[in-house]
């Protein structure tokens, strides 16, 4: 079985044919032109896919076209209701594709697509129930139960980043306060790093990043590795909030594994060792409940494409 997987992002649109073993064929991409009407972008995309399928001689082999897209979607109707990133409103993506190509089209949230990719062919491939968290500017969540993506009504569920961890806590982009995202995103880690730098001008964090505006998610990890106490404190607090949020998801879903992706997940053992220790010490039911391991994602930038195609391999 072969499907086309497409990953729509705010700077480019990437895609490829993917088979049911997770093998990725030659890739294609087109730039995302900001300000271009969404209907024109989708028409161009569908034409590109048509040419690609012809060039790869896959006409009779494609079972469908899966599309991962940021924003609020109606997955049943194949509509992007609203995407802040793409500036799209009520865009009937599936209908436009069907005018140009004879294949079924499925739409899902970009975080869900990446999660399904990891679940089927990446870090979760040996397991049935997987939770994936993408720690980036925000926090994307994906829920795979018994090998199937759980999307909720109209595909609008799975917003694990917007579950409140601290009542009346830090403001969140969603309008509430104290969301998991407001403590565990890269944005949150950078915010706390800057605060700690301003409170301690002698911290090694200033050596790692002399310009505070350029602070990234790695600064605390590098400074803490060199023994900086302020950085270590920021890191410990970050791991505490991330760990508490993950423990909530463990208690709700009891997944086999939790997969972390996004820039922060590249920190390696400096993140995963203390995080797994934190979770192990607080595992519900002590020895009687299976422990949940937190592991890094494996597919990198291909996870969205692979997962979008995998909507047809469930």
Task: Find the shortest distance in angstroms from Cβ 184 to Zn ion.
Answer: 11
User: Which runs of E-coded beta strand occur in 70-113?
Assistant: 72-74, 79-83, 88-91, 105-109
Q: Phi and psi of 177, rounded to 5°? A: -120, 145
Cα distances (angstroms) measured from residue 99 to each of 14, 22, 105, 135:
21, 28, 11, 37
Binding string, residues 153-192; x marks residues near Zn ion by CB under 5 A: ---------x---------x-x-x--x-------------
Task: Find the shortest distance in angstroms from Cβ 254 to Zn ion.
Answer: 24
Task: Find the shortest distance in angstroms from Cβ 111 to Zn ion.
Answer: 14
- Number of residues located near Zn ion, criterion CB under 5 A: 5
Which among 138, 135, 142 is positioned nearest to 264, based on CA atoms? Answer: 135
Q: Which is nearer to Zn ion, 33 or 174 (CB)?
A: 174
Helix, strand, or coil here: 222?
A: helix
Residue/partner pairs of 57-62 with CB below 8 Å, 24 or more apart: 58/2, 58/17, 58/25, 61/2, 62/2, 62/3, 62/4, 62/17, 62/103
Q: Which is nearer to Zn ion, 163 or 283 (CB)?
A: 163
- CA-to-CA distance for 60 and 55, rounded, in angstroms? 13
* Side-chain half-sphere exposure of 253, counting CA atoms within 13 A: 25
Task: Find the shortest distance in angstroms from Cβ 21 to Zn ion.
Answer: 37
Assess 198 for contact with Zn ion (CB under 5 A).
no
Task: Find the shortest distance in angstroms from Cβ 89 to Zn ion.
Answer: 22
Q: Which is nearer to Zn ion, 174 or 212 (CB)?
A: 174
Q: Which is nearer to Zn ion, 169 or 274 (CB)?
A: 169
Q: Which is nearer to Zn ion, 94 or 179 (CB)?
A: 179
Residues in contact with Zn ion by the rule CB under 5 A: 162, 172, 174, 176, 179
């Amino acid at each position: 079985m072969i499907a086309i997987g497409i990953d729509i992002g705010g700077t480019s649109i990437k895609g490829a044919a993917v088979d049911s073993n997770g093998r990725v064929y030659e890739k294609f991409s087109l730039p995302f032109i900001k300000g271009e009407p969404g209907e024109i972008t989708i028409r161009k995309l569908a034409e590109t896919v048509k040419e690609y399928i012809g060039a790869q001689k896959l006409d009779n082999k494609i079972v469908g076209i899966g599309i991962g897209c940021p924003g609020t979607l109606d997955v049943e109707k194949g509509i992007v209701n609203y995407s802040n990133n793409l500036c799209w409103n009520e865009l009937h993506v599936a209908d436009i594709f069907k005018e140009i190509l004879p294949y079924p089209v499925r739409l899902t949230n970009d975080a869900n697509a990446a999660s399904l990719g990891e679940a089927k062919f990446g870090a979760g491939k040996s397991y049935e129930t997987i939770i994936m968290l993408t720690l980036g500017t925000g926090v994307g969540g994906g829920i795979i139960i018994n090998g199937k993506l759980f999307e909720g009504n109209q595909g609008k569920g799975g917003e694990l980043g917007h579950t409140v961890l601290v009542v009346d806590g830090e403001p969140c982009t969603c309008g509430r306060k104290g969301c998991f995202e407001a403590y565990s995103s890269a944005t949150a880690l950078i915010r706390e790093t800057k605060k700690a730098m301003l409170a301690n001008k002698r911290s090694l964090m200033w050596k790692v990043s002399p310009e505070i505006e350029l602070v990234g998610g790695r600064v605390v990890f590098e400074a803490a590795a060199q023994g900086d106490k302020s950085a270590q404190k920021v890191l410990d607090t970050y791991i505490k909030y991330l760990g508490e949020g993950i423990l909530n998801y463990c208690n709700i879903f009891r997944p086999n594994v939790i997969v972390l992706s996004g820039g922060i997940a590249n920190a390696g053992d400096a993140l995963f060792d203390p995080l797994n220790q934190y979770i192990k010490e607080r595992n519900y039911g002590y020895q009687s409940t299976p422990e949940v391991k937190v592991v890094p994602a494996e597919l990198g930038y291909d996870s969205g494409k692979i997962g979008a195609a995998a909507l047809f391999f469930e």
